[in-house]
Amino acid sequence: MDLRDEFAVQIAAALAGALSDPAQIARRSYDYADALLAERARRIDADEARAIAEEFNPDELDPEWLEERFDPTWDVDPRWAAELAADSSRAEAADSEGVRPGLARTQPGEVDATRVAGTGA
């Protein structure tokens, strides 16, 4: 039973004492039920429109509410900043001067000619 039928049952119960013809009670109760559903739909649409109108629009955000962009230097203690800068300059100089150990290990060694030309083992 849908909402329309439930409304009609309630209205028919109210009209049962006032009217004697069952067909007229049914017709009027369904007419009233249809009117109630139409009014309910109209009110729901109006309530939704009113709720949407009051919703927050992100385009209208007050600039005072926005936080400043995060700056990583805020987390650095000033007394450590000088030491970090000195360490990074030393590391850059060491990288550009010599061979890096990771690259030296990944280079292939000399190929043994007997192994290549041998039995394949």
Number of domains in the chain: 1
- By the 8 A CB rule, do 27 and 12 touch? no
Q: What is the pLDDT of residues 51-90, one digit of tens each?
A: 777 777 767 777 777 777 777 777 777 776 666 666 666 6
Is the residue at 71 inside a domain? Answer: no
Is the residue at 76 inside a domain? Answer: no
Does this model's pTM top 0.85? My answer is no
Is the residue at 36 inside a domain? Answer: yes
What torsion, rounded to 10 degrees, do the Cα atoms 94, 100, 101, 102 define?
Answer: 130
Looking at residue 52, its pLDDT comes to 75
pLDDT at 48 over 70: yes
- In this prediction, residues 93-113 reach a mean pLDDT of 59
Is the residue at 83 inside a domain? Answer: no
Domain with 32, as residue range(s), is: 3-59
Q: How far apart are CA 20 and CA 13, in angstroms?
A: 12
Q: What is the pLDDT of residues 31-40, one digit of tens each?
A: 989 998 899 8
Q: How far apart are CA 1 and CA 13, in angstroms?
A: 16
Is the residue at 49 inside a domain? Answer: yes
